[in-house]
Amino acid sequence: MAVEVIMPKLGVDMQEGEILEWKKQEGDVVNEGDILLEIMSDKTNMELEAEDSGVLLKIVHQAGETVPVTEVIAYIGAEGESVEAPSASAIITAADGQSVTAPAQPSKEAVAEVAAQPKEALGADEYDIVVVGGGPAGYYAAIRGAQLGGKIAIVEKSEFGGTCLNKGCIPTKTYLKNAEILDGLKIAAGRGINLASTNYSIDMDKTVAFKDGVVKTLTGGVRGLLKANKVEIFNGLGQVNPDKTVVIGDKVIKGRHIILATGSKVSRINIPGIDSPLVLTSDDILDLKEIPSSLAVIGGGVVGVELGLVYAAYGTEVTVIEMADRIIPAMDKEVSLELQRILAKKHGMKFLTSTSLSEIVEHGNQLTLKLADGTEIVADKALLSIGRVPQLKGLENLDLELERGRIKVDAYQETSIKGIYAPGDVNGTKMLAHAAYRMGEIAAENALRGNTRKAHLDFTPAAVYTHPEVAMVGLTEDQAREQYGEILVGKNSFAGNGRAIASNEAEGFVKVISEPKYHEILGVHIIGPAAAEIINEAATIMEMELTIDEVAQSIHGHPTFSEVLYEAVMDVLGEAIHNPPKRK
């Protein structure tokens, strides 16, 4: 099916663009990433890359023409494919495989018309989509499928909400709030709040119970949403077969399409002593009802550092062991090292980097962790936190193409088996709940409409909920220099931000990375208060392809933490008011 090339909207004020030159001509082979044409808006010239591979079938608007934004200017498709579309149009595939012509941006009426196309009746145990797994990707896919008029079933072996809600993001953030409260107690006297006593104790029974209550509220909410959308729920492990049947105990159901959203599980390492009951996974430690005097964290990634901080706030002596040269190595190096410095200084956490674990010895209800560099760490408990791997249980009968233990999918989230999709952690693309939401939504739409929507995840934000928080979107400084060579970097510190100073949170900074030609934003990195919130603004800016110059025209409220993002953007131009002048 031919793919449209449209006149892009390069900025909030752009209404039309002039085609300066076509770099490819009708009949030319085009690869994804090839330069197709050069356009000019009221701000700048820009080369446009092809988003798909194929043959340039038809050029609708020639060089010299001025075209409104979002209007079709060309078509790319298979060799020999005919295009009969003088105006912007797209082919939408109905659930039964029939095709209808609809506007390039389908209206609600057009979508309804497609959904209403006649299709073969479904039996009692047959569904348009059977979703296997009730985590973020799964329940999003199920509800989106129901919104589009499909008959949907979902199979979940335990609780809805997946790892994030039950054993990851939400429970961890509940505990991190406790750590934040304890931090507040420490600074209360300096702010004029004199407590009758500074003594406190931690009731872990109540802590765990509160966490469980939060989780129960949210899992019940997900189940309620599924029922409200008339998604049929099956509880139990689903065994999926190549003929798109799913066996749950003695029950067999069948889907026209299958969405595998089985998520991920804790990764383990095979070293002597790793099976000691004193070695806890990130799942286990969330139900721990005692506070160990010492804790060794095996792995300095997001979960390890977050949970390590929780127990450091409780008074536990925490040592983090990380193979890389710094904690959370996927983050920008400057941000990662600053977080490591702050956590060591403010919370007393110890970090052993550039080393690995070779053996664990249990003796006298304690652990001795032997490291590759000869160091030995003695601790009451150890937390194994080296990441997660796809959960493939129940999928053994499928001959799916895998890549390093992950289900291989295309941009439409479809696997090597036609009609079977695999969004979320199970494909290992972006193991984040919010990325799984988007992938699940896209998988459902493609299952019911035909493969018409791709997953674009380049500007997915990521955050670490430590104190201070850390967040990022796009390329790190090292990655940007490797890909672009010359780059521009702007920074601004929370040390000069009014709200941060008033809140006792004046540590950290925002870094903005740009390329020098068009001032396109390549990456944003934050360490400081509300970083996980501010990064969403940065992700939206990058998704909308706003340039540094366009963001510079915005006005940020005062006093707010987000002013630091604005000042960092201005610093790219050398115009930040609250930064010292840059040396020439």
Residues annotated as catalytic (active site), given as ranges: 558
Residues 6+ apart with CB under 8 A from 79: 54, 55
Quote the CA–CA distance of 491 and 153 in Å, as a whole number.
Answer: 49
Helix (H/G/I), strand (E/B), else coil: 262: coil
Q: Which of 559, 260, 547 is nearest to 420 (CA)?
A: 260
Overall size of the chain counted in residues = 584
Question: How would you class 365 by CB atoms within 10 Å of its CB: exposed for 0-12, middle for 13-18, buried for 19 or more?
Answer: exposed
Structure-token match 């919104």, residue found: 147
**How many C-beta atoms surround the C-beta of residue 363 within 10 A?**
8
Residues 6+ apart with CB under 8 A from 437: 136, 137, 140
Report yes or no: 97 and 225 within 8 Å, Cβ to Cβ: no
Report yes or no: 306 and 174 within 8 Å, Cβ to Cβ: no
Residues 409, 104, 130, 152, Cα dihedral to 10°: 160
In degrees and rounded to multiples of 5, residue 56 shows phi and psi of -70, 100
Instruction: Please give the structure tokens belonging to residue 542.
Output: 């990058």
361 dihedral zone (left: phi>0; alpha: psi -120 to 50; beta) = beta
Report yes or no: 83 and 26 within 8 Å, Cβ to Cβ: no
Q: Which of 363, 266, 263 is nearest to 307 (CA)?
A: 266
CA distances from 164 to 153, 167, 434, 501 (A): 22, 6, 10, 33
**How many C-beta atoms surround the C-beta of residue 284 within 10 A?**
15
Instruction: Please give the structure tokens belonging to residue 409.
Output: 């999918």
Q: Where are the alpha helices (DSSP H) in 229-332?
A: 282-285, 302-313
Quote the CA–CA distance of 281 and 268 in Å, as a whole number.
Answer: 9
